[in-house]
Amino acid sequence: MTIQNPVEWGISAVRQAAAIVGHASQAVYHPKEDLNALAPDVRHITANDLWASIVQGFADFRAYRTDVIFVSLVYPLIGIVLAQAAFGHDLVPLLFPLAAGFALIGPFAGIGLYELSRKREQGAPVSWSDALGAFRSPSWGAIAALGCMLMALYVAWLVAAETIYMVTLGPEPPVSVEAFARAALTTGAGWTMIGSGIAVGFLFAVVALAMGAIAFPLLLDRHVGVDTAIWTSVRCVLTNPWPMALWGMMVTAGLVLGSIPAFVGLIVVMPVLGHATWHLYRKLVPH
C-alpha cells in the first residue's frame, strides 16, 4: 500500500506551478531591500476581533450569496474527488488526512473570496467573475509561489500521515472503512496512530497558519514579495499568539464540520471563512 498516485499528482502540480512563477522572481523576493523596512506594521487583536471578523465574513456571504455559492461549489467537488481517489486506490487510511489537509491549503483556496471582500469594501459592484480578479493582481507571481509552498506542505503532510499508518496499523491496507475504524479505535496501535497523527498534524497546521494566515490578503492588497508577506504573517502570529491560535482552531473546526456531510457544508463554511480572513487581515494590518 502506497500513496504514490496522490503524491505524484501533488508533486506534479507543484512543479508546474513553480515553472509558471519562475518568470516572476521579482515579485517573489526583494534581494536588495530590507525585509523589515518593507513589512507593514502589525496590530494587537483580541478574541472579540475574531468574532467580529466572522460576523463581517457572514455579512459578505449574505450580500453576495448566489455569486459566492457559485464560486464555492468547487470546494465540495474537490473533497468528493479526493475521497473517491482514496477509496479507489485503497487509501482509506488517508481519507481523514486528505480532508484535514484543507486547513493547510485553505488560505490559498480562499484567494478569490478575499478579492470579493476587497471589492465590496471599495463599494464596487461585485459578481462571481470578480473572484478571478486575483489572477490579474500585480502580486500574482508571489501569490502563486506561496500557493506552491502550501501545496508542497500538503503533500508532505500526506507522506507523514502514510508513514504513521505504515508503522502502526500497516503495512497491509484495511479491507473496509469499518475495519479501519475498528482497528483505529479499539487497538493500542490504532490509538498510537491517532495520537501521533494529531501531534504531527498540529505541527503542520502551525507552519501553515504562520505562513499563510494573512499573507494572501496582504499580497492582494499591496504589491509586495512573498518574503514580505510570509514575514508579516509570522509577525501577526508572534504578536498575537493566543488570538491567532484560537483563530486556527476556529478555522479547523469549521472545515471539519463542513466536511462531515459529504463536504457539502464547505459551500457555506469556506466562503464565510474566506471573507472573514480578509476582515481579520484589516484588523491586523493597518491601512
Alpha carbon of 162 to those of 11, 134, 148, 172, 185: distances in Å? 16, 34, 21, 12, 18
Residue 2 has a pLDDT of 45
Residue 86 CB-half CA count within 13 A: 19
Mean pLDDT by 10 residues, the chain (287 residues): 47 48 45 55 95 93 66 60 62 79 80 85 71 75 90 91 92 84 92 94 91 91 89 94 93 78 73 92 92
C-alpha cell at 215: 499573507
Separation of alpha carbons 116 and 130, rounded Å = 6
Alpha carbon of 9 to those of 15, 103, 111, 163, 177: distances in Å? 10, 19, 22, 18, 24
C-alpha cell at 117: 471582500
Residue 38 has a pLDDT of 62
User: Alpha helix (H) ranges present in 64-172?
Assistant: 65-72, 74-88, 95-100, 102-109, 111-121, 140-168
Separation of alpha carbons 106 and 250, rounded Å = 13
Residue 128 has a pLDDT of 61
Secondary structure letter of residue 264 according to DSSP: T
Handedness of CA 143, 280, 76, 126 (dihedral sign): negative
Secondary structure letter of residue 94 according to DSSP: G
Residue 46 has a pLDDT of 96
Residue 152 CB-half CA count within 13 A: 13
Gyration radius (Cα) of the chain, Å: 19
Taking the chain, what is the end-to-end CA distance rounded to the nearest angstrom? 51
C-alpha cell at 148: 506552491
Residue 80 has a pLDDT of 63
Query: Residue 262: which region, alpha, beta or left (left: phi > 0; alpha: psi -120 to 50)?
Result: left
